[in-house]
Amino acid sequence: MKLGDAPAKFHARKLDPAIAGALIKHLSGLDPYISIWLERVFGTPRTFPPQVEQSRAEARDAVQLAAQLAEIELPSDAFVSPRAETEDETLLQTLLNMGYELDLEEELLPLDLQRFDGKLVGKQRAASVAVFTDKWDQKKLVVMSVNKKPIELELGVDLLYWDKIHDSFTFVQYKRLEKVPSHRPSGGSEWAYKRKEEIEKQLKLMPAGKDSPAMAADWRAFGTPFWFKFVRGDAGSVLDGKTLKGMHIPADWLRLAMKEETFKSGPKGGFRVTYDNAKYLGRTAFTQLISRGFVGTAGARSKAFKRVLHSKKRELIVAVRMDWQKDEEPLGMTSAKEAVGARAAFGPPELPFE
């Protein structure tokens, strides 16, 4: 049907309800999708609880990232909100166009994998690896998701950072805070993590040994390369190109606090990790410590982990973890015999991302 050229000045005009109904009926006869589209546009949108909305936002972000990696264009209705009268469905059924479900990777940590400090430029090398460079285009930082891989199972981490300049690995386990009623005199609410058993399980996997550096290049401000990142449940609602806001807590401090009464701030002394009782770093301080070589592995431990990344054997990861449980001798090699022994144990450095 050819409607002809639109008038030079065309303004929307409200139609009489009877005329509008007749027009919609006529247009629906020409194309049944028109009535479906109008219902989606003008129908009452479905509302979800805040926790479900957070999950929907994170899933949407993951699918958009997957589409970017695959260089495909999502359909315009991929994220259309269902109508209010629709019954409960699974997250994917309500959020995604069915034809794109396979593009959602379980292992993606999309909210932080492609972000660092807002200054370094990130380039996706694989679905779970991003490389950040500075303005001189020198490789500086590799961010890798190890979710659902042997490294996660044996070391209890989700994401690792490899600072190539300082040859240092930093490991991060993510935890989501939930909004709960506050027991402070002022009342209100607060963000807290209450699953004590989960933290205890992951702390057992993270080695507790400390390096004893003999060279300035191997000195670190923290004795552990393992960290927990506690993120608010609504952190995905506002994205600014940087990593998510949250609490970055070193595993060594968390171990001590778990043994004491630091987190007994819930009802009847219940377990809660909150902004009020935790010793933490914000995202700006944490990213600066990584990029300047103040945190992470050094010396033999960095070399050992390169070998772990190259082979991906669980038994090798276990061996590294057991070795890291012991306090090391100074990292500087003081004799030819030590140098030969280290080379035999770890082999030459291998760079898996080159």
* Model pLDDT for residues 198-228, shown as the tens digit of each residue: 999 999 999 987 777 878 989 999 989 999 9
Q: Are residues 75 and 219 in the same domain?
A: no
- The answer to whether residue 135 is domain-embedded is yes
- pLDDT of 206: 93
- pLDDT of 95: 38
Section 82-105 average pLDDT: 39
pLDDT tens for residues 280-310? Answer: 999 999 999 998 999 999 988 998 888 888 7
Helix segments in 71-205, DSSP class H: 91-95, 110-113, 150-155, 196-205
Distance CA 152, CA 154 (A): 6
- The answer to whether residue 107 is domain-embedded is no
Which of the listed residues 45, 65, 96 is the one where a domain comes to its end? 96
Which pTM was predicted?
Answer: 0.64
pLDDT tens for residues 2-47? Answer: 566 666 665 667 778 788 778 878 887 887 777 767 766 666 666 6
- pLDDT of 345: 36
* 344 DSSP assignment: H
Which of the listed residues 67, 96, 125 is the one where a domain comes to its end? 96
Distance CA 175, CA 250 (A): 13
- pLDDT of 76: 64
- Confidence tier at 253 by pLDDT (50, 70, 90): very high
Q: Which residues contact 92 (CB under 8 A, 6 or more apart)?
A: 59, 101, 104
- pLDDT of 144: 83
Section 174-195 average pLDDT: 86
| pLDDT beyond 80 at 169 | yes
- As a whole-number percent, the residues of the chain with pLDDT over 90 amount to 20
Q: Are residues 122 and 43 in the same domain?
A: no
Q: Are residues 299 and 200 in the same domain?
A: yes
- The answer to whether residue 333 is domain-embedded is yes
Express the helix, strand and coil content of the chain in percent, nearest 5 each.
Answer: 40, 20, 45
Section 170-183 average pLDDT: 89
Q: Which residues contact 22 (CB under 8 A, 6 or more apart)?
A: none
- pLDDT of 44: 64
Q: Are residues 304 and 178 in the same domain?
A: yes
User: Where is pLDDT greater, at 273 or 132?
Assistant: 273
- pLDDT of 115: 78
Q: How many other β-carbons are positioned within 10 Å of the β-carbon of residue 188?
A: 7
- Mean of all residue pLDDT scores within the chain: 74
Which of the listed residues 64, 96, 128 is the one where a domain comes to its end? 96
Q: Are residues 273 and 336 in the same domain?
A: yes
Which amino acid does the sequence have at 337? Answer: K
Cα 136–chain centre separation: 27
- pLDDT of 55: 66
**Number of domains into which the chain is organized:** 2
Q: Are residues 274 and 202 in the same domain?
A: yes
pLDDT tens for residues 310-345? Answer: 776 888 888 888 888 876 555 444 433 333 333 333
Q: Residue 283: which domain range?
A: 117-346
- pLDDT of 5: 66
- pLDDT of 255: 94
Q: Are residues 341 and 264 in the same domain?
A: yes
Answer whether 115's CB lies under 8 Å from 240's CB. no
Distance CA 269, CA 186 (A): 18
| pLDDT beyond 70 at 72 | no
Q: Are residues 129 and 233 in the same domain?
A: yes
Q: Are residues 317 and 190 in the same domain?
A: yes
Q: Are residues 90 and 145 in the same domain?
A: no
Q: How many other β-carbons are positioned within 10 Å of the β-carbon of residue 70?
A: 12
- Confidence tier at 232 by pLDDT (50, 70, 90): confident
Q: Are residues 74 and 126 in the same domain?
A: no
| Best CA proximity match to 263, nearest among 206, 193, 203, 201 | 193
Q: Are residues 212 and 324 in the same domain?
A: yes
| pLDDT beyond 60 at 83 | no
Section 253-275 average pLDDT: 91
- Confidence tier at 278 by pLDDT (50, 70, 90): very high
